[in-house]
């Protein structure tokens, strides 16, 4: 049985869940133009644009002659040739058609037997629950009850049809003013699994980690049933109430383990909902209520035509997306000319009523005032509009400027401002740049709001930052929705770029991911230790669990891939029992030590190992690099090796002018990450200048693709990127502590040592 402890090496490096045959619903704001090879119509649906695309096919926005909008999923022909895939597609169509509920998106048409099978479902122009919570925060209690009651009714209909949805998650619940809609029956199956093992498999985890039941996490196929959907709904409601999943986030196997063994974190859930959610999240499926019982306990009221069950910002999002649909091309005229249509709302009225209720809902605090312009733009008898103001060309900065990580954030802001000043001083500049800053204070709960300050400004062409892993992750949905390029020089959290989860689509990372950085640190230990290393100690401090887990994973792969078995240990958050665990590791005979944790525990580790007389190599990573470790550890820090994605500007002759400008402007030399932020701006400005043609500013949504294909020689080195936006090469620079200071060494090796010696990095993105 595939379990939480059996993840493969590749999955560990990316922390991507086991492949799941489902996808988030495309958002209305994400419409892209049709490509030349796309059809213009499918089975009576005129195609207006692309809502999304992937390896399996394309989802289009389609419209009938009557003005009805639909999401039309079309499978690629090569996929359709596979009998098993066509069977799965047919099963999805049949499952969706069997579910009859006002709270499930209905099937409008389908043809599983077409050369390219297609499925059309009603189009909902609202955001997913996940988008809404990330962008605007948790729902109020009344909204939670209405959300839960509606989704529970949809699941009751699913279960009445003899099915199990198996993927109830925030991305699969769309929000309309008249209530939520459950979508995506791509992995639904019969409640009785007999006869379906050929399609589903008995040892495969199906669902989304963090929103699946213990029986799904342990791949106990025979136990997966309607109660599994109820558990997932409990997770979904906890997320909607608090803004976080009840079993946390992070590595997939850790999520699976917590789902099976830990109690859910329900802090912040309204008291009136706590007993209900605890019942949904019972480990024993038999102890959970049915979806029908749950609907009865939640059904205090229904949304009706008013939108007051949703926060006003969410209603505004629905309104804005519906308004964007008004700009879609009109229906092609028929061959027989018709008289001019009478004045009236027509398609506009249909769009505003999409989902079953008008957006003129006063309770939601938002309404759309639309008029018929009679085809002349509404200019007759009106004053001419004033000329538009010249648009700015703005670089956005999202960073921690006043919180615990302000040293890094402020350094990046200074680097950005110096790069903009240098660009504006050029005699040949094609345009003048401006800077707009959004301070997230290092608080992940402020990450999304800080991002919206920048995404809502049409003059912002790209973002430098975020400076922190988790504010960056919280900001991802806003940046993904806006398709605004995001260049980060310090956020190494692996899930910031993860197309497998449909996120980080616009991120360009100028630093190494944490798991790869740890991989290179392990290579350095093997290559440079004064004595052969056969039993390296590897300690994970769970104070920052995602960061430390990624370091453990990367280092383990580096050691094991070289035939060396590490000695791993874990200490809980706060590094309790750290000294005792380190003593046990030394007694076990470790001959090198890699610290996967933060500066406070690294200080304690340095002092403890020093007191124990440990003489092996000691090495750690990015979140220890800084003055806190030097000050706290004192003499015990001597000899430690620290890796971080920053190069000292003083050793780069290309950075001499930057160093001088920084001293003149700010009265001091540049701090770490200032030079890398400077390079990020010059990279972005260069690609914007290349795309600036015919006097027209480029569409900012085209810039992520251009940046990911770019190479750049900056003052701190050279940069190149792979298709998903991650840095090629190493990106981890090494320092050793000498006389209380970080002494620069070199780039970490990109491969393990060979008998002939340690090779040079194959492709370091930033050379010295």
Residue 325 pLDDT level (bands cut at 50, 70, 90): low
Q: Which of 558, 557, 555 is nearest to 547 (CA)?
A: 555
Instruction: Match 């991002």 to its residue by tokens.
Output: 451
Helix, strand, coil % in the chain, rounded to nearest 5:
40, 15, 45
- Give pLDDT tens digits for 91-105: 778 777 888 888 988
**pLDDT for the residue numbered 38:** 84
The residues assigned a catalytic role are 167
Whole-angstrom distance, CA of residue 534 vs CA of residue 426:
56
Q: Does residue 349 or residue 533 have the better pLDDT?
A: 533
User: Residue 215 burial (CB < 10 Å; 0-12/13-18/19+)?
Assistant: buried
Domains and CATH numbers, the chain: 26-123 (3.30.200.20), 127-327+348-370 (1.10.510.10), 393-508+654-720 (3.40.50.2300), 514-644+732-747 (3.40.50.2300)
Residues 471/398, Cβ–Cβ less than 8 Å: yes
- Give pLDDT tens digits for 669-726: 999 999 999 999 999 999 999 999 777 889 999 999 999 999 999 999 999 999 999 9
**If you write DSSP's letter for every residue of 230-247 in order, what string do you get?**
HHHHHHHHHHHHHSS-TT
Mean of per-residue pLDDT scores for the chain = 82
* Residue 348 confidence (pLDDT) above 50: no
Residue 346 pLDDT level (bands cut at 50, 70, 90): very low
- Best mean pLDDT range from 137-141, 649-653, 678-682, 699-703: 678-682
Helix (H) or strand (E) holding 454: helix 444-455
Q: Rg for the chain (alpha carbons), in Å?
A: 28
Helix (H) or strand (E) holding 49: strand 45-53
Residue 191 pLDDT level (bands cut at 50, 70, 90): low
The mean pLDDT of 419-436, rounded to a whole number, is 95
Strand partners, 72: 60, 120
H-only helix segments in 243-311: 252-261, 274-280, 291-298
- Give pLDDT tens digits for 360-404: 333 333 333 333 333 333 434 444 545 445 678 999 999 999 999
- Best mean pLDDT range from 22-36, 198-212, 737-751: 737-751
Residues 595/604, Cβ–Cβ less than 8 Å: no
* Residue 322 confidence (pLDDT) above 60: yes
Cα 545 to Cα 147, 152, 599, distances in angstroms: 31, 33, 14
- Give pLDDT tens digits for 491-510: 999 999 987 777 888 999 99
Q: Poorest-confidence range of 463-472, 593-602, 691-700? A: 691-700
- Give pLDDT tens digits for 220-239: 888 899 999 999 999 999 99
* Residue 8 confidence (pLDDT) above 50: no
Whole-angstrom distance, CA of residue 571 vs CA of residue 696:
56
* Residue 302 confidence (pLDDT) above 50: no
**pLDDT for the residue numbered 327:** 55
Q: Of all residues in the chain, what percent carry a pLDDT higher than 70?
A: 79
Residues 123/355, Cβ–Cβ less than 8 Å: no
Which of 50-53's residues contact partners 24+ apart within 8 Å by CB, and which partners? 51/26, 51/27, 52/23, 52/26
State the pTM of this model: 0.56
């Amino acid at each position: 049985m595939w379990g939480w402890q059996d993840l493969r090496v590749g999955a560990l490096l990316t922390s991507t869940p086991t492949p799941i045959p489902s996808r988030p619903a495309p958002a209305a704001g994400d419409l892209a133009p049709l490509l030349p090879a796309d059809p213009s119509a499918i089975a009576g649906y005129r195609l207006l644009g692309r809502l999304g695309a992937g390896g399996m096919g394309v989802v289009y926005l389609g419209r009938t002659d009557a003005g009805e909008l639909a999401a039309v999923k079309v499978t690629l022909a090569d996929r359709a040739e596979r009998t098993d895939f066509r069977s799965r597609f047919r099963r999805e169509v049949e499952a969706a058609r069997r579910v009859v509920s006002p709270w499930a998106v209905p099937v409008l048409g389908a043809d599983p037997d077409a050369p390219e099978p297609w499925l059309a479902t009603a189009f909902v122009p609202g955001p997913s629950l996940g988008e809404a919570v990330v962008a605007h925060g948790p729902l109020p209690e009344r909204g939670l009850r209405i959300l839960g009651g509606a989704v529970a009714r949809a699941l009751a209909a699913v279960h009445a049809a003899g099915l199990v949805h198996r993927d109830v998650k925030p991305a699969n619940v769309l929000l309309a003013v008249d209530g939520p809609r459950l979508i995506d029956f791509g992995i639904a199956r019969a409640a009785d699994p007999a006869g379906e093992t050929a399609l589903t498999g008995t040892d495969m985890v199906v669902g989304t980690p963090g929103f699946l039941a213990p029986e799904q996490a342990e791949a106990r196929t025979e136990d997966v049933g309607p109660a599994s959907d109820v558990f997932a709904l409990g997770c979904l409601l906890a997320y909607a109430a608090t803004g976080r999943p009840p079993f946390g986030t992070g590595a997939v196997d850790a999520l699976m383990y917590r789902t099976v063994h830990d109690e859910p974190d329900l802090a912040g859930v309204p008291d009136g909902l706590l007993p209900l959610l605890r019942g949904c999240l019972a480990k024993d499926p038999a102890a959970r209520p049915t979806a029908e019982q749950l609907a009865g306990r939640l059904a205090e009221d229904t949304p009706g035509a008013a939108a007051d069950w949703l926060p006003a910002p969410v209603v505004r999002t629905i309104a804005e997306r519906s308004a964007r649909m008004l700009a879609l091309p009109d229906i092609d005229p028929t061959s027989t000319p018709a008289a001019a249509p009478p004045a009236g709302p027509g398609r506009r009225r249909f769009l505003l009523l999409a989902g079953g209720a008008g957006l003129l809902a006063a309770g939601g605090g938002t309404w759309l005032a639309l008029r018929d312009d009679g085809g002349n733009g509404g200019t007759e008898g009106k004053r001419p509009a004033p000329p538009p103001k010249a648009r700015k060309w703005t670089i956005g900065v999202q960073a921690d400027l006043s919180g615990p990580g302000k040293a890094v954030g402020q350094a990046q802001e200074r680097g950005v401002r110096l790069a903009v000043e240098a660009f504006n001083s050029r005699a040949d500049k094609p345009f003048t740049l401006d800077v707009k800053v959004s301070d997230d204070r290092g608080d992940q709960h402020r990450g999304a709001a800080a991002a919206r300050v920048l995404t809502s400004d049409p003059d912002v062409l790209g973002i430098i930052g975020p400076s922190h892993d988790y504010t960056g992750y919280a900001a991802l949905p806003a940046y993904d929705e806006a398709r605004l390029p995001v260049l980060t020089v310090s956020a190494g959290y692996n899930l910031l770029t993860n197309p497998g989860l449909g996120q980080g689509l616009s991120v360009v990372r100028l630093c190494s991911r944490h798991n790869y950085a740890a991989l290179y640190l392990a290579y350095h230990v093997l290559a440079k230790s004064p004595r052969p290393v056969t039993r390296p100690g590897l300690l994970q401090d769970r104070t920052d669990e995602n960061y430390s887990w990624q370091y453990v994973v990367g280092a383990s792969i580096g050691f094991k891939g070289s035939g060396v078995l590490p000695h791993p240990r874990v200490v809980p958050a706060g590094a309790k029992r750290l000294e005792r665990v380190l003593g046990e590791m030394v007694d076990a005979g470790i001959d090198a030590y890699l610290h996967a944790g933060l500066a406070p525990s690294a200080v304690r580790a340095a002092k403890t190992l020093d007191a124990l007389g440990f003489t092996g190599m000691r090495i750690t990573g990015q979140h220890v690099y800084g003055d806190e470790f030097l000050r706290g550890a004192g003499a015990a820090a001597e000899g430690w090796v620290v890796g971080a994605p920053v190069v000292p500007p003083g050793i780069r002759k290309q950075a001499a002018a930057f160093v001088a400008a920084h001293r003149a402007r700010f009265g001091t030399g540049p701090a770490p990450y200032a030079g890398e932020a400077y390079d990020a701006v010059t990279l972005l400005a260069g690609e914007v200048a290349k795309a600036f043609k015919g006097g027209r500013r480029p569409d900012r949504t085209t810039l992520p693709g251009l940046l990911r294909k770019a190479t750049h020689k900056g003052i701190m080195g050279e940069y190149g990127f792979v298709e998903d936006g991650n840095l090629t090469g190493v990106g981890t620079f090494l320092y050793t502590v000498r006389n209380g200071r970080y002494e620069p060494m070199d780039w970490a090796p990109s491969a393990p040592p060979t008998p002939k010696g340690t090779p040079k990095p194959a492709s370091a993105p930033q050379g010295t």
